[in-house]
Amino acid sequence: MKILVTGREGQVVQSLIEKAALRPDLQLVAMGRPDLDLARPETVLAAISEVQPDLVVSAAAYTAVDQAEDEPEAAFAVNAAGAHAVAEAARACGAPVIHLSTDYVFAGDSGKAYVESDPVGPKGVYGRSKLEGERLVAEAHPEHIILRTAWVYSPFGKNFVKTMLRVAETRERLSVVSDQWGNPTSALDIADAVLRVADHLAGKADFAGYGIYHLAGTGDTNWSGFARGIFAESARNGGPVAEVIDIATSQYPTKAVRPANSRLSTEKFRKTFGWSMPEWQASLRDVVKRIVSPAV
C-alpha cells in the first residue's frame, strides 16, 4: 500500500514515518512545501497525482491557535481551502482521504465527553477554520474519514510535554490552568490508529463507515494534571521536575478562547475499527522517557 501524507515536519507526520518504517508492506511518502503547499492549492493536485497513492492522509495544518486570531486568512487558507484541495486531489486519484481535525470545533460548554453527533460551535478562528475544513473535505470526497483529536504531544516538534520539561530546567514552580479538561493524545498512537484505518480500508471497496470519528487518548485530565503527570514520569527518568500550581483560565489570558471541556468519546472508532487508544498515562510514560533519556 502506498500512503501519501501531507506535511513533513508535523508530529503526526513524523510519527507516521517512524511507524511505517516498521511495515515493509507500506510505502509512505511525506510531501510538504514547496512541492505541496496548502496555502497554494494549485500545487496540491499535481503533487498528489504524481505519487498516485492508495490512501491520502491530510495531516498538514495551520496550528498556531493564538496567532490565528490575527491571521484568519492564513488559517482558513490552509485549514479550509488547503484541506479541500487535498480531498479533491485524493478523489481524482481514486484514493480515500483521512483528514485530521481537532477538539476545538466544540464550544466546550458540555459537561460530558463529546460524541461525533454533538453540536459544534468553535470559539476561535483556529477551531472555525478546522470546522470549515471538515465541511469542505466531506463535500469534496465521499470516501473521507475525519479524525478529531486533541492535546497532541510526541517526541517530535513543539508541544506541551516538551515545553513543560524545558521550562522546568530553569524554574522550580509553574502555574498551569486547572479548569480546562481534555484527552492528552500521543501522536505515535494517532499514527498507529491511522495505519489501523489504512489496513481496514485496504481492498474494501464496499466500506460503509466513512465519516467523522473522535480519536484521543483514553482517559481525561486538566492541563495541570497533565503537567503533574509529565513531571512524575520525568522524575522516574532523572529529568527536570517542577512544582505545579493550579490556576484558573482567567489568570492566564490568551488571545484565543479555549474550550473548558473538550473531552472526546472514542467509542465510535472502537466499534468500527476494533481498536482503542491506550490510556494517556501509559503513552505519556513512553514519550517522556524518549525525550528525557533518548537512546544512544
* 9-22 per-residue burial string, b: 16 or more CB within 10 A, e: under 16: ebbbbbbbbbbbee
Residue 156 grid coordinates: 517530535
Low-confidence ranges of the chain (pLDDT < 50): 296
Looking at residue 206, what is its pLDDT?
84
172-184 pLDDT tens trace:
999 999 999 999 9
Looking at residue 293, what is its pLDDT?
87
Looking at residue 296, what is its pLDDT?
47
Q: What is the pTM of this model?
A: 0.96
Active site residues: 126
Phi, psi for residue 251 in degrees, rounded to 5 = -90, -5
3-state SS, the chain, equals: CEEEEECCCCHHHHHHHHHHCCCCCCEEEEECCCCCCCCCHHHHHHHHHHHCCCEEEECCCCCCCCHHHCCHHHHHHHHHHHHHHHHHHHHHHCCCEEEEEEHHHCCCCCCCCECCCCCCCCCCHHHHHHHHHHHHHHHHCCCEEEEEECCEECCCCCCHHHHHHHHCCCCCEEEEECCCEECCEEHHHHHHHHHHHHHHHCCCCCCCCCEEEECCCECCEEHHHHHHHHHHHHHHCCCCCCEEEEECHHHCCCCCCCCCECCECCHHHHHHHCCCCCEHHHHHHHHHHHHHCCCC
How far apart (Å, rounded) are the C-alpha atoms in residues 240 and 165? Answer: 6
Looking at residue 41, what is its pLDDT?
86
Residue 39 grid coordinates: 496555502
